[in-house]
Every structure is written in structure tokens, then in C-alpha cells.
Amino acid sequence: MKYASLVIRLLLSFAFLAAGSQKLIGAEMMLAIYDQIGVGQWFRLVTGVVEVGGVILLWVRPMQILGALILGGTMVGAVLAHVLILGPSSMPAIILGLLCAAVVWLHKEQFTMLKAKLIKPAA
């Protein structure tokens, strides 16, 4: 399972670093996509920061599960954008979302660790 997680996180890192950096540098394709979606270019920048930040979290234990949840959430938004506005190319977002779900499942023990750190009993 350790190697499966490593391979999946590497794949996710390459994909999201590529997409996030394209959003942050303002690649022409990204500018056009966010114009077509109609949410404004500020949202492109927010999405780029979230994607790059999510990749960083994929490599910080015990935050790997949080990184996968954040990146998976962006893929839910991407699928919705494709289905409702952009057209029928949502399969890459679905696949990336499923890979994010696999990381969440492979690191499910981190839920308990994060819960213990975030929710401290009252003194």
C-alpha cells in the first residue's frame, strides 16, 4: 500500500503542478477557460494556489489526506464546470478525482490523527 500511495501521489503531483502552474502564470488556454466559465480571472488564480498547495500537502504527513481532499474538491468543481458549461471533456477530472479518493482511502488513519490534533478535550 505504501508504494501504491507513492505512485498515486506522484501522478497527482505532476498533474496538479502542471495545471496549477499554468493557471498561475496565466497560460492562454487557462485564461480562455475561465473566461468561458464566467467566474473571473481571480478564480483562476485561487484555483492555481489551491492546486499547488494541495500538492504540497500530499507530501506532508499527516496532511496527505487533507491535500487529497482539497484536490478532489477541485475536481468536483472541474467536473461540474465541464458538464454544465465547457462541454464533454470531464473524464480527466473524473480520473484525477478517483485518484484523490484512493489517496484518502490509503491514508484513512490520518483522519484519527488530525482529529486528535484539531479537537482537544476541554481542560
Q: What are the helix (H) ranges across 26-90?
A: 28-37, 41-58, 64-81
Mean pLDDT calculated for residue range 92-98 = 97
Query: Which is higher by pLDDT, 115 or 48?
Result: 48
- pTM of this prediction exceeds 0.85: yes
Per residue in 32-75, pLDDT tens?
999 999 999 999 999 999 999 999 999 998 899 999 999 999 99
Percentage of the chain surpassing pLDDT 90?
82
Q: What is the pLDDT of residue 123?
A: 58
Encode 88-123: b = buried (16+ Cβ within 10 Å), e = exposed. eebeebeebbebbebbbebbeebeeeeeeeeeeeee
